[in-house]
Structure 1
């Protein structure tokens, strides 16, 4: 699937060991960070760098990250407010989403 932002620029989403990154024109424009806990992927922080806001990159990033996670048969825990809002607006991810327990929240990096 080819992704493009609101300006029509090609976008790449890449999975790394602790995050998915979004790139535009060969530059990393943002990321959504996660940790693996009890067989679930806990998304706890998403950000887009200054100069890339307003292009829909966070939405593209989160959508691709959640789809990749679902394709791996891994459940998600949307702690990040942007990820939680995305799940609320896209019911196809509700079936793989779990609530964050206090133990999960306490175990997250600062």
Structure 2
């Protein structure tokens, strides 16, 4: 993950990947190490090494609001999806809004995304329940 990120106040922040099986997260933290928010996802890969990343929940703690952390979190998560060659499926409204506004830029940078399908919702429900 890139270094040197700053929020709207100029404060240093970090975004890091916390892999999980089946649910992982991208976590944004402020300079003192406090976790400010996260974007949860589930990856679905095939045997050929390609796959999809379904973003289903994003939140930033209220006390960190207005600092642009959600936008940083979304942009870094999408950049990682490009690096990992994963198609993004935006179930999360924040990711869906971002891609509706900036989808052409995401695609120009090498990203791929598609609209969610009922099967994606079912996959997330199974992943979250652990079954």
TM-score by shorter chain over 0.5: yes
Distance in 1 of aligned mates of 2:41 and 2:59? 12
Pair 1:93-2:99 in alignment: no
SS in 1 for 2:99: helix
Residue pair 1:11, 1:24 contacting (<8 A) in 2 also: yes
Question: What is the root-mean-square deviation in Å for CA atoms of aligned residues?
Answer: 1.4
Residue pair 1:37, 1:104 contacting (<8 A) in 2 also: no
What is the deviation of 1:106? 1.8
SS in 2 for 1:51: helix
Q: Which of 2, 5, 12 pairs up with 1:3?
A: 5
Q: Aligned residue for 2:81?
A: 69
Tell me how many residue pairs correspond in the alignment.
Answer: 110
| TM-score when normalising by structure 1 | 0.92
Distance in 1 of aligned mates of 2:34 and 2:88? 27
Q: Aligned residue for 1:20?
A: 26
Query: Which has more radius of gyration?
Result: 2
| TM-score when normalising by structure 2 | 0.78
SS in 1 for 2:82: helix
Which consecutive aligned stretches of 4+ in structure 1 deviate over 6 angstroms post-superposition? none
What is the deviation of 1:107? 2.1
Which stretch of the first structure deviates more once superposed, 68-77 or 94-103? 94-103
Distance in 2 of aligned mates of 1:50 and 1:81? 18
Q: Deviations over 1:23-54 (max 9, x none)?
A: 10211100000001252000000000120011
